[in-house]
Amino acid sequence: MIEDNGELELKCDHAGLNRWIDSMVRMCKPDKLEWIDGSEEQKQRLTREAASAGEIIILDQKKLPGCLYHRTAVDDVARTEELTFICTARLGDTGPTNNWMSPDEGYRRAGEIFKGSMKGRTMYIIPFSMGPIGSPFSKIGIELTDSIYVVLNMLIMTRVGKQVIDHLGPDGEFTRCLHGTADRNIHKRLILHFPQDNTIWSVGSGYGGNVLLGKKCLSLRIASFVAQKEGWMAEHMLILGIEEPSGRISYVSGAFPSACGKTNLTMLVPPDGLKEKGYRIWTVSDDIAWMRIDTDGMLWAINPEAGIFGVVPGTNSKTNPNAMITIGKNTIYTNTLLKLDGTVWWEDGDELPPSDGIDWKCMPWKPGMADDKGKPIYGAHPNSRFTAPIAQCPTASFRLDQPHGVQISAIIFGGRRAYLPPLVFQSFNWTHGVYVGATMRSERTAAQQGKVGEIRWDPMAMIPFCGYNMADYFDHWLDIGRRLEQQPTIFHINWFRQDENGDYLWPGFRENLRIIEWILARCRGEVGAVETPIGYVPKPEDIDMTGLELPEGAMEKLLEVDNKAWLEELKVHKEVLEKFGQRLPEELWHQYEKFRERLGG
């Protein structure tokens, strides 16, 4: 075994960590070991190595400074939920929404794939912190991986390096994260979580959500399990600050399922019509929130991540100019179209399609190409992603590195639904809000493998990410509500209602600030609302529409509550709640009954 500590001698005197690394090395048998120290020199060297191995392509450094390009395997372009497991001693601990495997079986099955899989390769050791290093709310992880692509992504997405090891000390607690690409075979791919051992094993994949183990695996699946025990919350939520000219900043958090608009909402540019109001937007988090009750009895949140792993297609200067600035440098593009001039292109971006390019499958591509069924061949995969430092976002919050985070005034649930849920409604109280979150449904997107468009139940946008029995998770939400001195008000939004022609009724993106404005006014009791069976809905005149004209009747449709259609939806609520049997908190059945009565069913 040759040890190479890179430029910096990373001495680690954590006996438990060293023992764990030794035993993973014995299993995976890498030729070399390298500690990742977070230095620019090491990053540059690894970039060059990965480029000469063909693992990444260095993009045109004049046009896209610091930017890289990568393609994953064609069958490895989104999270594979059916290969994702929670491994606990008892099946009941993971509940009806998770795939379960016993820890013994998990270690055995993945161990067989890991065995010797790093022969001829280097194992990189990445010490990382989720949350500002040293914050009492942060967690440390060590990811072992044989992929430089993973290393380069982790350097953006998390806080990496020597300070993490220093902070860990000789006996600090950390999450053991093992990733191996093995032969990227979908039949030998497993994403396993062992919450009782604070361990994650991911093998056979190279796709972000499966392999950047600080993200969904640690910050949601493992963290949600830990949070329930420790009395805090790990949520699939954005965090957004809205500053008024007075200097008052209100923060809201929002849980929308994958590819349903979190990243876009967090960096919006206020619409021209609201310019006079002088709002300033602060981006705190685009995907994950860790929230806890502070000594003031209020809910406070941090973003555990340092980067954005965002959906590329649809990103353009009109809908999201701040994202375009954010991804102009130091960004890794995965599975977009590669242009012949060493830049990238994607559908619904700023540029017209190039006459030639190499698509995400590494095939020659021209605009207008179609497959044998006549379906258009995309240049960029619909779930192609960018990895960029959040600090590059023009609206990045000045509180990103504050260990304390921000105080949350409102929680917004949301989904992608062509019909039914109105543009926005407010829950009656915390418990009702928990019911709204627990029964939320949304159309499937390309962020996970499966049928796009099909409506799926995705409670609190956490169905793929809750590391324990969701009945207990709902109970935890109710418990947090009881413990809060002042509860954030809970809302539900839907930017995606369509008309008969399948066109969106609401322009979305920056215009969404008009709805956030109403939400904040409601939190402060400054505006009225219409009480409906689903909750409080705005009076159309209470949404500031200065500078925005909608077609005749659109607003009415956007705010419509169709009791009959909700009665149909209620049938699904019953079905999903029944999945939990006796374990479901009584309060949710009580909410169900009250909802049925309000609907007159």
460 binds, among Mn ion, ligand GTP, ligand SPV, none (CB under 5 to 8 A by kind): none
Q: 302 touches which of ligand SPV, ligand GTP, Mn ion, none (CB within 5 to 8 A by kind)?
A: none
Nearest CB to Mn ion, comparing residues 310 and 421: 310
Between 117 and 448, CB nearer to ligand SPV: 448
Residues 238-267 interacting with Mn ion (rule: CB under 5 A): 258
Site residues (vs ligand GTP, CB under 6 A): 256, 258-264, 286-287, 310-311, 313-314, 319, 447, 495-496, 504, 508-509, 512
- Give the separation between CA 481 and CA 298, rounded to whole angstroms: 10
Among candidate residues 417, 378, 70, the one with its CA nearest the CA of residue 212: 70
Pick from 95, 131, 209, 349 the residue near ligand SPV by CB under 6 A.
209
Distance between CA atoms of 379 and 337, rounded to whole angstroms? Answer: 5
Query: What size, in residues, is the chain?
Result: 601
Q: Is 459 near ligand SPV (CB under 6 A)?
A: no
Contact present, 223 and 234 (Cβ < 8 Å): yes
Which of 88, 94, 253, 258 binds ligand SPV (CB under 6 A)? It is 258
By C-beta, is 42 or 512 nearer to ligand GTP?
Answer: 512
Q: Give whichever of 217 and 537 is closer to ligand SPV, judged by the CB atom.
A: 217
Cβ-closest position to ligand GTP? 508
How far is residue 173's CA from residue 477's CA, in Å, rounded to a whole number?
A: 26
Chain residue at closest Cβ approach to Mn ion:
287
What are the tokens at 186? Answer: 């979908």
Binding segment (CB under 6 A) for ligand SPV, from list 48-56, 95-103, 207-215, 325-333 = 207-215
Name which of 258 and 336 has its Cβ closer to Mn ion: 258
**Shortest reach from residue 89's CB to ligand SPV, in Å:** 27
Minimum distance between the CB of residue 78 and Mn ion, rounded to whole angstroms? 11
By beta-carbon proximity to ligand GTP, the closer residue of 92 and 507 is: 507
509 C-beta neighbours (distance < 10 Å), count: 18
Instruction: Tell me the two tokens of residue 526.
Output: 């400054």
Measured from each CB, the residue nearest to ligand SPV is 209
Q: Which residues, 6+ apart, have CB-to-CB distance to 585 below 8 Å? A: 471, 474, 475, 478
- Residue with Cβ nearer ligand SPV (258 or 395): 258
Give yes or no for a contact between 126 and 143, defined as CB atoms under 8 angstroms apart: yes
Contacting residue, 287, 347, 359, 472, with Mn ion by CB under 5 A = 287
260 catalytic residue (yes or no): yes
Least distance from ligand SPV to the Cβ atom of residue 225, Å:
18
Among the candidate windows 17-25, 67-75, 209-217, 410-418, which touches ligand SPV by CB under 6 A? 209-217
CA-CA distance, 178 to 168, in Å (whole number)?
18
Closer by beta carbon to ligand SPV, 79 or else 188 = 79
Centroid of chain to Cα 159: 17
**H helices of 205-338, where?**
208-211, 223-230, 262-266, 321-326
Q: Interface with ligand SPV includes 216 (CB under 6 A)? A: yes
Q: Does 124 bind ligand SPV (CB under 6 A)?
A: no
> Apex CA 340: angle with CA 336 and CA 342, to 5°?
70
In order, the DSSP letters of 238-285 are EEEEEE-TTS-EEEEEEE--TTSSHHHHHTPPPPGGGGGG--EEEEEE
Q: Which is nearer to ligand SPV, 287 or 569 (CB)?
A: 287
Residue 208 binding target from ligand SPV, ligand GTP, Mn ion, none, CB below 5 to 8 Å by type: ligand SPV
**Total interface residues for Mn ion by CB under 5 A:** 2
Measured CA to CA, the distance from residue 159 to residue 464 in angstroms comes to: 25
Closest CA to 574 of 563, 587, 588: 588
Determine the Cα–Cα distance for residues 406 and 499; give it in Å rounded to an integer. Answer: 38
Are 387 and 157 in contact by the 8 Å Cβ rule? The answer is yes
CA angle 286, 291, 295 (to 5 degrees): 145
The C-alpha atoms of residue 399 and residue 395 are separated, in whole angstroms, by 11
Which position among 28, 260, 393, 466 bears the catalytic label? Answer: 260
Position among 71, 179, 215, 522 found at the interface with ligand SPV (CB under 6 A): 215
Q: Is 235 in the site for Mn ion (CB under 5 A)?
A: no
Q: How many Cα neighbours within 13 Å face the side chain of 385?
A: 25
Count of residues touching ligand SPV (by CB under 6 A): 9
User: Would you count residue 208 as binding ligand SPV (CB under 6 A)?
Assistant: yes
Name the minimum Å distance from CB 207 to Mn ion. 13
CA distance 416 to 496: 5
Given Mn ion, ligand GTP, ligand SPV, none, residue 508, with its beta carbon under 5 to 8 Å by kind, binds ligand GTP
Residue 426's DSSP bridge partners are 491, 536
Residue 447 binds ligand SPV (CB under 6 A): yes
Check residue 206 for interaction with ligand SPV (CB under 6 A).
no
Residue 287 binding ligand SPV, by CB under 6 A: yes
Q: Is the C-alpha dihedral spanning 521, 506, 254, 397 positive or negative?
A: negative
When CB distances are held under 5 to 8 angstroms depending on the partner's kind, the choice from ligand GTP, ligand SPV, Mn ion, none that residue 216 binds is ligand SPV
Contacting residue, 35, 137, 194, 309, with ligand SPV by CB under 6 A: 309
Residue 366's identity, in one-letter code, is K
Nearer to ligand GTP (CB atom), residue 39 or residue 316: 316
Is 437 among the residues that bind ligand SPV (CB under 6 A)? no
Residue 361 contacts by C-beta under 8 Å, 6 or more apart in sequence? 71, 74
Rounded to an integer, what distance in angstroms lies between the CA atom of residue 308 and that of residue 283?
A: 11
d(CA 550, CA 540): 12
**DSSP state letter for 102:** -
Q: How far is the CB of 311 from ligand SPV (least distance, A)?
A: 8
Identify the burial level of 325 via C-beta atoms within 10 angstroms of its C-beta, where 0-12 means exposed, 13-18 middle and 19 or more buried.
middle
Q: Which does 305 bind (CB under 5 to 8 A by kind): ligand GTP, Mn ion, ligand SPV, none?
A: none
Other Cβ atoms closer than 10 A to 133: 19
Residues carrying an active site annotation: 260
Q: Please give the residue ranges that form the binding site for ligand SPV (CB under 6 A).
A: 79, 208-209, 215-216, 258, 287, 309, 447
Q: Please give the residue ranges that form the binding site for Mn ion (CB under 5 A).
A: 258, 287
